[in-house]
Structure 1
Amino acid sequence: MTQLSVNINKIATLRNARGGDVPNLLQFAKDIEIFGAQGITVHPRPDERHIRYQDVLDLKTVLTTEFNIEGNPINKFIDLVLKTQPEQVTLVPDAIDAITSNAGWDTITHKDFLKEVITEFKRNKIRTSIFVDPNTKMVKNAHATGADRIELYTEEYAKRYAMGDKNAVEIYADCARIAAEMGLGVNAGHDLSLENIGYFKEKVPGLLEVSIGHALITEALYLGLETTIKKYLKFLKE
Protein backbone atom coordinates (compact mmCIF):
# COMPACT_ATOMS: atom_id res chain seq x y z
CA MET A 1 0.00 0.00 0.00
CA THR A 2 1.19 3.50 -0.81
CA GLN A 3 1.56 5.49 2.41
CA LEU A 4 -0.40 8.72 2.94
CA SER A 5 1.43 11.62 4.59
CA VAL A 6 -0.83 14.61 5.28
CA ASN A 7 0.70 18.06 4.96
CA ILE A 8 -0.73 20.26 7.71
CA ASN A 9 0.62 23.63 6.57
CA LYS A 10 -2.90 24.85 5.77
CA ILE A 11 -4.03 24.15 9.34
CA ALA A 12 -1.20 26.32 10.61
CA THR A 13 -2.20 29.03 8.12
CA LEU A 14 -5.75 29.00 9.48
CA ARG A 15 -4.51 29.18 13.06
CA ASN A 16 -2.12 32.03 12.30
CA ALA A 17 -4.82 34.06 10.52
CA ARG A 18 -6.68 34.59 13.79
CA GLY A 19 -3.90 34.27 16.35
CA GLY A 20 -4.19 32.04 19.36
CA ASP A 21 -4.25 28.27 19.08
CA VAL A 22 -7.42 27.42 17.16
CA PRO A 23 -7.33 25.07 15.39
CA ASN A 24 -4.83 23.30 17.60
CA LEU A 25 -2.11 22.00 15.30
CA LEU A 26 -0.95 19.17 17.55
CA GLN A 27 -4.45 17.81 18.13
CA PHE A 28 -5.21 18.05 14.44
CA ALA A 29 -2.09 16.04 13.63
CA LYS A 30 -3.00 13.40 16.22
CA ASP A 31 -6.51 13.13 14.79
CA ILE A 32 -5.08 12.61 11.30
CA GLU A 33 -3.08 9.70 12.67
CA ILE A 34 -6.13 8.27 14.43
CA PHE A 35 -8.08 8.42 11.15
CA GLY A 36 -5.47 6.21 9.51
CA ALA A 37 -2.88 8.37 7.75
CA GLN A 38 0.60 6.91 7.99
CA GLY A 39 2.48 10.19 8.26
CA ILE A 40 2.51 13.93 8.85
CA THR A 41 4.33 16.39 6.59
CA VAL A 42 5.27 19.98 7.37
CA HIS A 43 7.06 22.52 5.22
CA PRO A 44 8.44 25.34 7.40
CA ARG A 45 9.62 28.44 5.58
CA PRO A 46 11.93 31.16 6.89
CA ASP A 47 9.11 33.69 7.38
CA GLU A 48 7.08 31.11 9.38
CA ARG A 49 3.90 32.22 7.63
CA HIS A 50 2.29 28.85 8.33
CA ILE A 51 4.31 26.17 10.11
CA ARG A 52 6.55 27.72 12.74
CA TYR A 53 9.88 26.23 13.67
CA GLN A 54 8.59 25.64 17.20
CA ASP A 55 5.63 23.73 15.72
CA VAL A 56 8.08 21.26 14.22
CA LEU A 57 9.73 20.61 17.57
CA ASP A 58 6.37 20.32 19.32
CA LEU A 59 4.99 17.89 16.74
CA LYS A 60 7.95 15.58 17.19
CA THR A 61 6.91 15.00 20.81
CA VAL A 62 3.39 13.80 19.98
CA LEU A 63 3.50 12.03 16.61
CA THR A 64 3.37 8.25 16.47
CA THR A 65 3.60 7.88 12.67
CA GLU A 66 6.25 8.98 10.20
CA PHE A 67 7.31 12.62 10.38
CA ASN A 68 8.41 14.20 7.10
CA ILE A 69 9.94 17.68 7.13
CA GLU A 70 10.17 19.43 3.74
CA GLY A 71 12.13 22.53 2.89
CA ASN A 72 15.02 24.34 1.31
CA PRO A 73 18.21 23.22 3.08
CA ILE A 74 19.41 26.61 4.26
CA ASN A 75 21.40 26.50 7.50
CA LYS A 76 18.40 27.23 9.72
CA PHE A 77 16.43 24.41 8.13
CA ILE A 78 19.30 21.95 8.42
CA ASP A 79 19.72 22.79 12.10
CA LEU A 80 15.99 22.30 12.70
CA VAL A 81 15.96 18.89 11.01
CA LEU A 82 19.01 17.68 12.90
CA LYS A 83 17.47 18.82 16.18
CA THR A 84 14.10 17.22 15.40
CA GLN A 85 15.39 13.93 13.97
CA PRO A 86 12.35 13.09 11.80
CA GLU A 87 12.01 9.81 9.95
CA GLN A 88 12.33 11.62 6.61
CA VAL A 89 13.54 14.94 5.26
CA THR A 90 12.50 16.09 1.78
CA LEU A 91 14.73 18.71 0.17
CA VAL A 92 12.89 21.30 -1.93
CA PRO A 93 14.57 24.19 -3.82
CA ASP A 94 12.12 26.88 -2.70
CA ALA A 95 12.81 30.53 -3.24
CA ILE A 96 12.35 32.46 0.01
CA ASP A 97 9.27 34.27 -1.34
CA ALA A 98 7.66 31.24 -3.02
CA ILE A 99 3.96 30.81 -2.26
CA THR A 100 4.32 27.07 -2.77
CA SER A 101 6.84 24.68 -4.28
CA ASN A 102 7.10 25.29 -8.02
CA ALA A 103 10.10 23.33 -9.30
CA GLY A 104 12.30 20.37 -8.57
CA TRP A 105 16.07 20.23 -8.15
CA ASP A 106 18.51 20.37 -11.01
CA THR A 107 20.34 17.29 -9.80
CA ILE A 108 23.26 17.91 -12.16
CA THR A 109 24.00 21.55 -11.33
CA HIS A 110 23.41 21.09 -7.60
CA LYS A 111 24.81 17.57 -7.23
CA ASP A 112 27.72 18.51 -4.97
CA PHE A 113 25.59 20.71 -2.72
CA LEU A 114 22.89 18.06 -2.39
CA LYS A 115 25.45 15.36 -1.75
CA GLU A 116 26.98 17.38 1.11
CA VAL A 117 23.62 18.05 2.76
CA ILE A 118 22.34 14.50 2.27
CA THR A 119 25.53 13.02 3.72
CA GLU A 120 24.96 14.98 6.92
CA PHE A 121 21.35 13.86 7.24
CA LYS A 122 22.20 10.22 6.53
CA ARG A 123 24.99 10.40 9.08
CA ASN A 124 22.20 11.17 11.55
CA LYS A 125 20.12 8.23 10.24
CA ILE A 126 17.47 10.45 8.63
CA ARG A 127 16.02 9.11 5.37
CA THR A 128 16.44 11.67 2.60
CA SER A 129 14.24 12.45 -0.37
CA ILE A 130 14.74 15.13 -3.01
CA PHE A 131 11.99 16.92 -4.90
CA VAL A 132 12.43 16.50 -8.67
CA ASP A 133 10.53 17.36 -11.82
CA PRO A 134 9.27 14.43 -13.95
CA ASN A 135 12.44 14.50 -16.00
CA THR A 136 14.25 11.23 -16.59
CA LYS A 137 17.63 12.96 -16.76
CA MET A 138 17.13 14.56 -13.34
CA VAL A 139 15.94 11.26 -11.89
CA LYS A 140 18.97 9.42 -13.21
CA ASN A 141 21.31 11.98 -11.69
CA ALA A 142 19.47 12.00 -8.37
CA HIS A 143 21.18 8.74 -7.53
CA ALA A 144 24.58 10.47 -7.51
CA THR A 145 23.48 12.77 -4.67
CA GLY A 146 23.16 9.85 -2.27
CA ALA A 147 19.43 10.35 -1.70
CA ASP A 148 17.31 7.43 -0.54
CA ARG A 149 14.23 8.57 -2.45
CA ILE A 150 12.91 11.09 -4.91
CA GLU A 151 9.61 12.94 -4.66
CA LEU A 152 8.06 13.49 -8.07
CA TYR A 153 6.58 16.97 -8.54
CA THR A 154 3.04 16.24 -9.75
CA GLU A 155 1.58 19.66 -10.57
CA GLU A 156 1.82 19.11 -14.33
CA TYR A 157 0.09 15.74 -14.03
CA ALA A 158 -2.75 17.29 -12.03
CA LYS A 159 -3.25 20.12 -14.54
CA ARG A 160 -3.30 17.86 -17.57
CA TYR A 161 -5.44 15.18 -15.92
CA ALA A 162 -8.05 17.84 -15.10
CA MET A 163 -8.20 18.64 -18.82
CA GLY A 164 -8.79 14.99 -19.68
CA ASP A 165 -5.23 14.12 -20.65
CA LYS A 166 -4.55 10.80 -18.94
CA ASN A 167 -1.34 10.39 -20.92
CA ALA A 168 0.18 12.94 -18.55
CA VAL A 169 0.94 10.13 -16.15
CA GLU A 170 3.28 8.33 -18.55
CA ILE A 171 6.40 10.37 -17.83
CA TYR A 172 5.87 9.82 -14.10
CA ALA A 173 5.65 6.07 -14.65
CA ASP A 174 8.87 6.20 -16.69
CA CYS A 175 10.62 8.17 -13.95
CA ALA A 176 9.43 5.73 -11.30
CA ARG A 177 10.78 2.78 -13.26
CA ILE A 178 14.16 4.47 -13.73
CA ALA A 179 14.32 5.35 -10.04
CA ALA A 180 13.61 1.74 -9.08
CA GLU A 181 16.35 0.51 -11.40
CA MET A 182 18.78 2.80 -9.60
CA GLY A 183 17.65 1.75 -6.13
CA LEU A 184 15.76 4.95 -5.34
CA GLY A 185 12.41 4.89 -3.59
CA VAL A 186 9.59 6.95 -5.14
CA ASN A 187 7.35 9.47 -3.38
CA ALA A 188 5.06 12.00 -5.05
CA GLY A 189 3.27 15.21 -4.20
CA HIS A 190 1.76 18.54 -5.24
CA ASP A 191 -1.85 19.03 -6.36
CA LEU A 192 -2.75 15.38 -5.97
CA SER A 193 -6.41 15.08 -5.00
CA LEU A 194 -9.29 12.64 -4.67
CA GLU A 195 -10.03 13.33 -8.32
CA ASN A 196 -6.65 12.25 -9.67
CA ILE A 197 -4.92 10.11 -7.03
CA GLY A 198 -6.48 6.80 -8.02
CA TYR A 199 -5.25 6.90 -11.60
CA PHE A 200 -1.80 8.07 -10.54
CA LYS A 201 -1.48 5.25 -8.03
CA GLU A 202 -2.65 2.72 -10.64
CA LYS A 203 -0.15 3.78 -13.31
CA VAL A 204 2.99 4.71 -11.34
CA PRO A 205 4.82 1.56 -10.23
CA GLY A 206 6.41 1.22 -6.81
CA LEU A 207 4.89 4.38 -5.37
CA LEU A 208 5.89 4.39 -1.70
CA GLU A 209 4.34 7.59 -0.37
CA VAL A 210 2.25 10.59 -1.36
CA SER A 211 2.29 13.88 0.50
CA ILE A 212 -1.00 15.77 0.19
CA GLY A 213 -2.06 18.96 1.91
CA HIS A 214 -3.97 21.71 0.11
CA ALA A 215 -6.42 19.48 -1.76
CA LEU A 216 -7.01 17.15 1.18
CA ILE A 217 -7.74 19.97 3.61
CA THR A 218 -10.03 21.65 1.07
CA GLU A 219 -11.91 18.40 0.43
CA ALA A 220 -12.24 17.90 4.19
CA LEU A 221 -14.20 21.16 4.44
CA TYR A 222 -16.95 19.43 2.46
CA LEU A 223 -16.56 15.79 3.41
CA GLY A 224 -15.08 15.93 6.89
CA LEU A 225 -11.51 15.06 7.78
CA GLU A 226 -12.02 11.41 8.69
CA THR A 227 -14.09 10.64 5.59
CA THR A 228 -11.58 12.38 3.33
CA ILE A 229 -8.60 10.49 4.76
CA LYS A 230 -10.38 7.18 4.46
CA LYS A 231 -11.21 7.91 0.81
CA TYR A 232 -7.54 8.56 0.09
CA LEU A 233 -6.52 5.39 1.89
CA LYS A 234 -8.98 3.39 -0.21
CA PHE A 235 -7.49 4.74 -3.45
CA LEU A 236 -3.95 4.10 -2.23
CA LYS A 237 -4.71 0.54 -1.22
CA GLU A 238 -6.39 -0.50 -4.47
Structure 2
Amino acid sequence: MDLGSGGSGGGTLARALSGIGLPERLALASRSIAGRLVFTTSFGIEDQAITHAIFSAGLDVHIEIVTLDTGRLFPETYDLWEQTEERYQRRINAVSPDRGAVEALVNRQGINGFRHSVEARKACCDIRKVEPLGRALAGAAGWITGLRAEQSAFRAAVPLAIHDEGYGLIKINPLADWSRQDLARYVIDNAVPYNPLHDRGYPSIGCAPCTRAVRLGEPERAGRWWWEQEAKKECGLHLVPTQKNLEHSHDRLA
Protein backbone atom coordinates (compact mmCIF):
# COMPACT_ATOMS: atom_id res chain seq x y z
CA MET A 1 0.00 0.00 0.00
CA ASP A 2 1.29 3.45 -0.94
CA LEU A 3 1.07 5.70 2.08
CA GLY A 4 2.54 8.73 0.40
CA SER A 5 0.59 11.86 -0.47
CA GLY A 6 1.05 11.35 -4.19
CA GLY A 7 2.40 9.03 -6.83
CA SER A 8 0.72 6.35 -8.87
CA GLY A 9 0.35 3.88 -5.98
CA GLY A 10 -2.73 5.75 -4.77
CA GLY A 11 -3.72 7.47 -1.55
CA THR A 12 -2.64 7.54 2.08
CA LEU A 13 -3.47 5.12 4.84
CA ALA A 14 -5.89 7.71 6.20
CA ARG A 15 -7.69 7.74 2.85
CA ALA A 16 -7.76 3.94 2.76
CA LEU A 17 -9.39 3.90 6.20
CA SER A 18 -12.18 6.27 5.20
CA GLY A 19 -15.46 4.90 3.94
CA ILE A 20 -15.22 1.55 5.73
CA GLY A 21 -16.59 0.31 9.06
CA LEU A 22 -14.81 0.24 12.38
CA PRO A 23 -13.86 -3.48 12.38
CA GLU A 24 -12.60 -3.12 8.80
CA ARG A 25 -10.51 -0.09 9.77
CA LEU A 26 -8.91 -1.99 12.62
CA ALA A 27 -8.28 -5.03 10.43
CA LEU A 28 -6.69 -2.86 7.75
CA ALA A 29 -4.46 -1.19 10.33
CA SER A 30 -3.34 -4.58 11.67
CA ARG A 31 -2.49 -5.73 8.14
CA SER A 32 -0.74 -2.51 7.14
CA ILE A 33 1.48 -1.97 10.17
CA ALA A 34 4.34 -4.42 10.53
CA GLY A 35 5.14 -4.80 14.19
CA ARG A 36 3.51 -4.52 17.59
CA LEU A 37 0.16 -2.70 17.58
CA VAL A 38 -1.16 -1.27 20.87
CA PHE A 39 -4.62 0.08 21.69
CA THR A 40 -4.78 2.18 24.87
CA THR A 41 -8.20 2.30 26.49
CA SER A 42 -9.45 4.61 29.23
CA PHE A 43 -12.84 2.82 29.18
CA GLY A 44 -14.59 5.88 27.76
CA ILE A 45 -17.40 5.25 25.30
CA GLU A 46 -15.07 5.65 22.29
CA ASP A 47 -12.63 3.12 23.69
CA GLN A 48 -15.43 0.70 24.57
CA ALA A 49 -16.60 0.78 20.94
CA ILE A 50 -13.08 0.02 19.73
CA THR A 51 -12.63 -2.71 22.34
CA HIS A 52 -15.85 -4.35 21.17
CA ALA A 53 -14.73 -4.24 17.55
CA ILE A 54 -11.31 -5.71 18.37
CA PHE A 55 -12.63 -8.58 20.47
CA SER A 56 -15.66 -9.34 18.30
CA ALA A 57 -13.53 -9.56 15.15
CA GLY A 58 -10.83 -11.62 16.85
CA LEU A 59 -8.28 -8.88 16.24
CA ASP A 60 -6.81 -9.15 19.74
CA VAL A 61 -4.32 -11.66 18.31
CA HIS A 62 -2.80 -8.70 16.46
CA ILE A 63 -3.74 -5.77 18.70
CA GLU A 64 -2.68 -5.56 22.35
CA ILE A 65 -5.18 -3.76 24.60
CA VAL A 66 -3.79 -1.93 27.63
CA THR A 67 -5.05 0.70 30.05
CA LEU A 68 -3.23 3.30 32.12
CA ASP A 69 -4.32 2.78 35.72
CA THR A 70 -3.54 6.17 37.25
CA GLY A 71 -4.74 5.10 40.69
CA ARG A 72 -7.31 7.91 40.73
CA LEU A 73 -10.01 6.64 38.40
CA PHE A 74 -13.72 6.71 39.21
CA PRO A 75 -15.14 3.62 40.97
CA GLU A 76 -17.50 3.33 37.99
CA THR A 77 -14.48 3.04 35.69
CA TYR A 78 -13.01 0.18 37.68
CA ASP A 79 -16.41 -1.54 37.70
CA LEU A 80 -16.63 -1.16 33.92
CA TRP A 81 -13.13 -2.59 33.55
CA GLU A 82 -14.30 -5.74 35.35
CA GLN A 83 -17.57 -5.83 33.40
CA THR A 84 -15.71 -5.53 30.10
CA GLU A 85 -13.39 -8.41 30.93
CA GLU A 86 -16.37 -10.55 31.92
CA ARG A 87 -18.31 -9.67 28.76
CA TYR A 88 -15.50 -10.55 26.34
CA GLN A 89 -13.68 -13.12 28.49
CA ARG A 90 -10.38 -11.35 27.92
CA ARG A 91 -7.90 -9.60 30.19
CA ILE A 92 -7.07 -5.93 29.67
CA ASN A 93 -3.51 -5.36 30.85
CA ALA A 94 -2.75 -2.47 33.19
CA VAL A 95 0.24 -0.16 33.14
CA SER A 96 0.65 1.73 36.42
CA PRO A 97 2.75 4.77 37.35
CA ASP A 98 6.06 4.33 39.11
CA ARG A 99 5.37 4.01 42.84
CA GLY A 100 8.38 6.04 43.92
CA ALA A 101 7.51 8.86 41.52
CA VAL A 102 3.91 8.98 42.78
CA GLU A 103 5.01 9.01 46.41
CA ALA A 104 7.48 11.83 45.76
CA LEU A 105 4.82 13.81 43.85
CA VAL A 106 2.23 13.51 46.63
CA ASN A 107 4.79 14.32 49.31
CA ARG A 108 5.81 17.41 47.37
CA GLN A 109 2.41 18.66 46.13
CA GLY A 110 -0.07 17.20 48.60
CA ILE A 111 -2.74 14.69 47.65
CA ASN A 112 -4.62 17.15 45.41
CA GLY A 113 -1.77 19.52 44.72
CA PHE A 114 -2.42 19.39 40.98
CA ARG A 115 -5.09 22.07 41.48
CA HIS A 116 -2.52 24.66 42.58
CA SER A 117 -1.29 25.46 39.08
CA VAL A 118 -1.27 24.25 35.49
CA GLU A 119 2.36 23.21 35.96
CA ALA A 120 1.47 21.14 39.04
CA ARG A 121 -1.38 19.44 37.17
CA LYS A 122 0.85 18.64 34.21
CA ALA A 123 3.45 17.19 36.58
CA CYS A 124 0.78 14.85 37.94
CA CYS A 125 -0.34 13.87 34.43
CA ASP A 126 3.26 13.26 33.42
CA ILE A 127 3.80 10.79 36.26
CA ARG A 128 0.41 9.08 36.23
CA LYS A 129 -0.20 9.01 32.46
CA VAL A 130 2.59 10.13 30.15
CA GLU A 131 5.45 8.05 31.60
CA PRO A 132 3.31 4.87 31.81
CA LEU A 133 2.17 5.44 28.23
CA GLY A 134 5.79 5.57 27.13
CA ARG A 135 6.33 2.14 28.67
CA ALA A 136 3.11 0.79 27.12
CA LEU A 137 4.22 1.92 23.66
CA ALA A 138 7.87 0.89 23.99
CA GLY A 139 8.80 -1.07 20.88
CA ALA A 140 5.38 -0.61 19.27
CA ALA A 141 5.01 0.15 15.57
CA GLY A 142 1.43 1.38 15.84
CA TRP A 143 -0.84 3.02 18.42
CA ILE A 144 -4.65 2.96 18.25
CA THR A 145 -6.60 5.66 20.11
CA GLY A 146 -10.21 6.76 20.59
CA LEU A 147 -9.64 10.37 19.49
CA ARG A 148 -12.49 12.04 17.60
CA ALA A 149 -12.33 15.36 15.78
CA GLU A 150 -15.63 16.44 17.35
CA GLN A 151 -14.36 16.16 20.93
CA SER A 152 -12.75 19.61 21.03
CA ALA A 153 -11.38 22.43 18.90
CA PHE A 154 -7.86 21.21 19.68
CA ARG A 155 -8.72 17.80 18.20
CA ALA A 156 -10.62 19.12 15.17
CA ALA A 157 -7.77 18.21 12.80
CA VAL A 158 -7.35 14.65 14.07
CA PRO A 159 -6.81 12.39 11.02
CA LEU A 160 -7.58 8.69 10.71
CA ALA A 161 -3.86 7.93 10.51
CA ILE A 162 -0.72 9.95 11.16
CA HIS A 163 2.95 9.50 11.88
CA ASP A 164 3.41 10.39 15.55
CA GLU A 165 6.83 12.02 15.77
CA GLY A 166 6.83 12.00 19.57
CA TYR A 167 6.60 8.22 19.86
CA GLY A 168 8.02 7.35 16.45
CA LEU A 169 5.13 5.18 15.31
CA ILE A 170 1.94 5.17 13.26
CA LYS A 171 -1.05 6.51 15.21
CA ILE A 172 -4.45 5.23 14.13
CA ASN A 173 -7.59 7.13 15.19
CA PRO A 174 -10.36 4.90 13.77
CA LEU A 175 -13.18 7.07 15.17
CA ALA A 176 -11.71 10.40 14.06
CA ASP A 177 -14.64 11.17 11.73
CA TRP A 178 -17.41 9.75 13.95
CA SER A 179 -19.99 12.00 15.60
CA ARG A 180 -21.30 11.48 19.11
CA GLN A 181 -24.50 10.17 17.52
CA ASP A 182 -22.56 7.65 15.42
CA LEU A 183 -20.85 6.43 18.55
CA ALA A 184 -24.05 6.14 20.58
CA ARG A 185 -25.73 4.23 17.77
CA TYR A 186 -22.87 1.74 17.52
CA VAL A 187 -22.81 1.16 21.28
CA ILE A 188 -26.58 0.63 21.45
CA ASP A 189 -26.75 -1.60 18.36
CA ASN A 190 -23.99 -3.84 19.69
CA ALA A 191 -24.99 -3.76 23.38
CA VAL A 192 -21.52 -2.52 24.29
CA PRO A 193 -21.02 -2.00 28.05
CA TYR A 194 -20.29 1.63 28.88
CA ASN A 195 -19.65 3.83 31.89
CA PRO A 196 -22.91 4.96 33.60
CA LEU A 197 -21.27 8.36 34.17
CA HIS A 198 -21.90 9.06 30.48
CA ASP A 199 -25.63 9.13 31.30
CA ARG A 200 -24.97 11.59 34.12
CA GLY A 201 -23.45 14.34 31.99
CA TYR A 202 -19.87 13.12 31.71
CA PRO A 203 -19.06 12.81 27.97
CA SER A 204 -15.32 12.67 28.74
CA ILE A 205 -14.12 10.71 31.77
CA GLY A 206 -10.63 10.84 33.24
CA CYS A 207 -9.36 10.77 36.80
CA ALA A 208 -12.11 11.33 39.39
CA PRO A 209 -10.75 14.52 41.02
CA CYS A 210 -10.10 16.07 37.60
CA THR A 211 -13.47 15.45 35.91
CA ARG A 212 -16.92 17.01 36.36
CA ALA A 213 -20.16 16.81 34.41
CA VAL A 214 -20.47 19.33 31.58
CA ARG A 215 -23.13 22.01 31.38
CA LEU A 216 -25.58 22.45 28.53
CA GLY A 217 -23.78 23.81 25.48
CA GLU A 218 -20.26 23.12 26.77
CA PRO A 219 -17.73 21.15 24.67
CA GLU A 220 -17.31 17.48 25.49
CA ARG A 221 -14.00 18.01 27.27
CA ALA A 222 -15.05 21.11 29.25
CA GLY A 223 -15.38 18.96 32.37
CA ARG A 224 -11.69 18.03 32.36
CA TRP A 225 -9.49 20.20 34.66
CA TRP A 226 -12.38 22.68 34.76
CA TRP A 227 -10.59 25.00 37.22
CA GLU A 228 -8.01 25.87 34.56
CA GLN A 229 -8.59 28.68 32.09
CA GLU A 230 -6.75 27.00 29.23
CA ALA A 231 -8.85 26.30 26.12
CA LYS A 232 -6.75 23.19 25.44
CA LYS A 233 -7.94 20.36 27.71
CA GLU A 234 -5.17 17.79 27.31
CA CYS A 235 -2.99 15.78 29.69
CA GLY A 236 0.04 15.46 27.40
CA LEU A 237 -0.62 12.05 25.88
CA HIS A 238 -1.55 13.53 22.52
CA LEU A 239 0.55 16.11 20.71
CA VAL A 240 -0.90 18.76 18.39
CA PRO A 241 -2.39 16.78 15.49
CA THR A 242 -1.11 17.56 12.02
CA GLN A 243 -1.64 16.03 8.61
CA LYS A 244 1.99 14.92 8.36
CA ASN A 245 2.75 12.66 5.44
CA LEU A 246 3.29 9.01 6.36
CA GLU A 247 5.77 8.34 3.57
CA HIS A 248 8.71 8.17 6.00
CA SER A 249 7.06 5.25 7.82
CA HIS A 250 7.35 2.66 5.04
CA ASP A 251 9.87 0.67 7.02
CA ARG A 252 7.16 -0.14 9.60
CA LEU A 253 4.46 -1.01 7.09
CA ALA A 254 3.79 -4.30 5.37
What range is the shorter-chain TM-score in? 0.3 to 0.5
> Which protein is bigger by CA-based radius of gyration?
2
Higher helix share: 1
**TM-score, normalised with respect to structure 1:** 0.34
Higher strand share: 1
